[in-house]
């Protein structure tokens, strides 16, 4: 997917690519969950059937993962727009601050997902069982396995849906982005001009001081 990401971004825009990727991935994970329920992936009927299930799940997860690189590439483009937007609004460009805030919310999101995973596992009544040798025994309770399957599929589906939906409100696009880039170009040109004038004045002052001495 990575080689075609730039083409899609140029044609549809980074925002639309991210929105589509998030919603597509959410639908794919939800479909995987429903396929697992309807196909009864939680029950093993033999080696042959297990192989079929693994093939189906592998195909489903491959489809679920297709948008990942699209989101990574398009997300990096949108991140650059965020840097420009912060400079446009505040007058100062601060990539470090924006990156720090992004990392914070990323860690917060991971913590919420881990918390929800623990809540679901506790809610379905999972208790690790061991045999007489102390080895963990594979879980066979259908309700517990269903809870595991929900954590495996539904939580990523919710996260992807939220990713796509929230980016619908990303407003640094269209005329707003065009005006932002024009204003930034003017400001940067004026800043460079002022720096060059200041540098020329400094050189002139040094030359004058040497002459006087």
Using one digit for the tens of pLDDT, what is the confidence trace for 95-128? 888 888 888 887 887 888 788 777 877 777 777 7
| Mean pLDDT across the chain | 85
- Per-residue pLDDT for 136 more than 80? no
pTM for this one? 0.77
pLDDT tens for each residue of 19-40: 999 999 999 999 999 988 877 6
pLDDT at position 51 is 81
Res. 46 pLDDT band, cuts 50 70 90 = low
Res. 179 pLDDT band, cuts 50 70 90 = very high
Range with the poorest average pLDDT among 16-30, 76-90, 170-184, 198-212: 198-212
- Per-residue pLDDT for 17 more than 90? yes
- DSSP for the chain, written as a single string: -TTTHHHHHHHH-HHHHHHHHHHHHHHHHHHHHHHHHHTTTTS---HHHHHHHHHHHHHHHHHHHTHHHHHHHHHHHHHHHHHHHHHHHHSS--HHHHHHHHHHHHHHHHHHHHHHHHHHHHHTT----B-TTSPBPPP--HHHHHHHHHHHHHHHHHHHHHHHHHGGG----HHHHHHHHHHHHHHHHHHHHHHHHHHHHHHHHHHHHHHH-
- Per-residue pLDDT for 62 more than 90? yes
Q: For the chain, what percent of residues have pLDDT higher than 70?
A: 94
């Amino acid at each position: 997917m990575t080689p075609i990401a730039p083409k899609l971004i140029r044609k549809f825009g980074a925002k639309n690519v991210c929105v589509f990727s998030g919603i597509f991935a959410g639908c794919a994970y939800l479909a995987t969950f429903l396929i697992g329920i309807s196909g009864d992936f939680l029950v093993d009927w033999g080696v042959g059937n297990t192989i079929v299930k693994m093939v189906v799940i592998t195909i489903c997860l491959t489809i679920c993962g297709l948008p990942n690189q699209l989101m990574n590439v398009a997300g990096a483009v949108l991140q650059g727009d965020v840097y420009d937007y912060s400079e446009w609004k505040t007058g100062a460009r601060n990539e470090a601050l924006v990156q720090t805030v992004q990392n914070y919310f990323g860690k917060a999101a991971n913590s919420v997902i881990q918390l929800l995973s623990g809540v679901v596992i506790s809610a379905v009544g999972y208790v690790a069982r061991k045999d007489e040798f102390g080895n963990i025994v594979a879980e066979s309770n259908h309700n517990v396995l269903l809870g595991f399957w929900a954590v495996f599929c539904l939580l990523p589906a919710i996260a992807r849906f939220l990713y796509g939906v929230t980016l619908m409100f990303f407003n640094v696009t269209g005329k707003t982005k065009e005006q932002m880039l024009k204003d930034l170009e003017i400001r940067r040109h004026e800043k460079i001009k002022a720096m060059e004038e200041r540098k020329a004045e400094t050189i002139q002052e040094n030359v004058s001081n040497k002459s006087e001495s």
